[in-house]
Amino acid sequence: MPRVPPQQQQSTNMEEIKKGAWSPEEDQKLKSYIIRYGIWNWSQMPKFAGLSRTGKSCRLRWMNYLRPDVKRGPFTMEEVEIVIKMYQELGNRWSAIAAKISGRTDNEIKNFFHTHLKKHLKLKNIDASMKSKVKRKRVEKTKKSEEINNAGKAQEKTLSFLAIGPTMTTDNNSMIGTSTNNSSSLMVSPCGSSSYNSIITFDESQRMNVDQPIIEMENTVILESNPEIHQSDSLSIESLDEFDTNSFWFHLLNDAHRFIL
DNA sequence: AACAAAGGCAACCGCCGTCGC
DNA sequence: GGCGACGGCGGTTGCCTTTGT
């Protein structure tokens, strides 16, 4: 790809650069230009396409919205599961996660995670990463991630989320819930029963011990601690707005329940 | 009906890696 | 090897919509 002399680039910068939301006309210009000429140089493209935008802005608009293969609309349960699973494996590498879901962009997945999943699951390490102002070098992240994988410690990362949610009743008359005195257990029991017949516990060394039956790690739905609900051992679905039967949260608990039984 | 608060999401910003000169 | 341009990525912002009072 030929490099452009600095003075030539400055000429574009002298023009008024538009920011903010894209108009339908701008979308049309960019789309038609790319369809006709393809993507050859983002920084030069706006000038030739007749757009007063930066190359970055054009690239973002195309990648996240105008590309023909971009999928719109709500996430399916399958997609949600992939996002969660991949997040547990890869962390906040949204582009890598997006690569696993056809038609979804990294931006969309990131937004979805921060709005829906973060809200419901309250993953501890998300909060930590949000609060942290320290910029980690990508090399270090990759290195760390490789180390984790190589050492077989991917499970440790998964387990660190803790598996806690409120008790709820599922549609096949069993109850899935959490211990009020053990913040790292996920339990399933017949509805109304005071004893749990399946308990997953996480011990201090982050190993997983499972009372019968054996549960594969990748089948385990990992949820986060929700302290305000701990005092109640048997909240019903009706008492919690977020537990409508169409919510992904409900489905996740159902999935966990199904895997365990 | 009007206003405020919260939620959702498109788009921007700044940093970083890669590549050509 | 150093420099600068470019593309890509994750974090953040701010506007618009929805929901609650």
Check whether residue A149 and residue A94 sit in a common domain: yes
Question: Rounded to a whole number, what is the largest CA-CA distance in chain A?
Answer: 76
A9 found inside a domain: no
Which whole number is the average pLDDT over A238-244? 34
Residue A119: its pLDDT value, please?
A: 60
Tokens of A149: 């994988």
DSSP annotation of A130: H
Q: Is the CB of A2 under 7 A from strand B?
A: yes
pLDDT, tens digit (0-9, with 9 covering 90-100), for A191-219? 222 222 223 322 223 323 322 222 222 22
Tell me which nucleotides of strand C come within 7 A of a protein CB. Answer: 4-12, 15-16
Domain limits for position A237: 168-260
CB A53 under 7 Å to nucleic chain B = yes
pTM of the predicted structure, to 2 decimals: 0.56
Q: Are residues A58 and A117 in the same domain?
A: no
Peptide bond between residue A213 and the one before it cis (omega within 30 degrees of 0):
yes
- Does residue A109 fall inside a structural domain? yes
d(CA A201, CA A197): 13
Asked whether strand C has any atom less than 7 Å from the CB of A65, the reply is: no
DSSP helix/strand/coil, A187: strand
Query: Is residue A2 a part of any domain in this protein?
Result: no
A169 φ/ψ angles, rounded to the nearest 5 degrees: -100, 135
Question: How far is residue A80's CA from residue A228's CA, in Å, rounded to a whole number?
Answer: 25
Task: Specify whether A180 is located in the same domain as A246.
Answer: yes
Reduced to 3 states, what is the DSSP secondary structure of residue A21?
coil
Give alpha helix (H) positions in chain A. 6-13, 24-37, 45-49, 55-61, 77-90, 94-98, 106-112, 118-121, 124-131, 138-150, 154-159, 227-230, 248-260
Please indicate, yes or no, if residue A3 is contained in any of the structural domains.
no
pLDDT tens per residue, range A19-78:
888 999 999 999 999 988 888 889 889 989 999 999 999 999 999 999 888 888 888 888
> What's chain A's average pLDDT?
56
A153, A183, A218 - which closes a domain: A153
Query: What's the pLDDT score for residue A260?
Result: 34
Are A254 and A183 found together in one domain? yes
* Domain stops at, among A106, A122, A153: A153
Among A140-149, A163-172, A173-182, top mean pLDDT goes to A140-149
Residue A158 lies in a domain: no
* Confidence check: pLDDT of A130 > 90: no
Task: Please tell me whether residues A88 and A146 are part of one structural domain.
Answer: yes
Residue A38 or residue A157, greater confidence: A38
Nucleotide C13: closest residue by CA–C1'? A20
Q: Domains in chain A: how many in total?
A: 3
Do the domain assignments include residue A189? yes
Residue A196 belongs to a domain: yes
Residue A89 has pLDDT above 50, yes or no: yes
Pick the last residue of a domain from A123, A153, A183.
A153
Residue A11 domain-assigned (yes or no): no
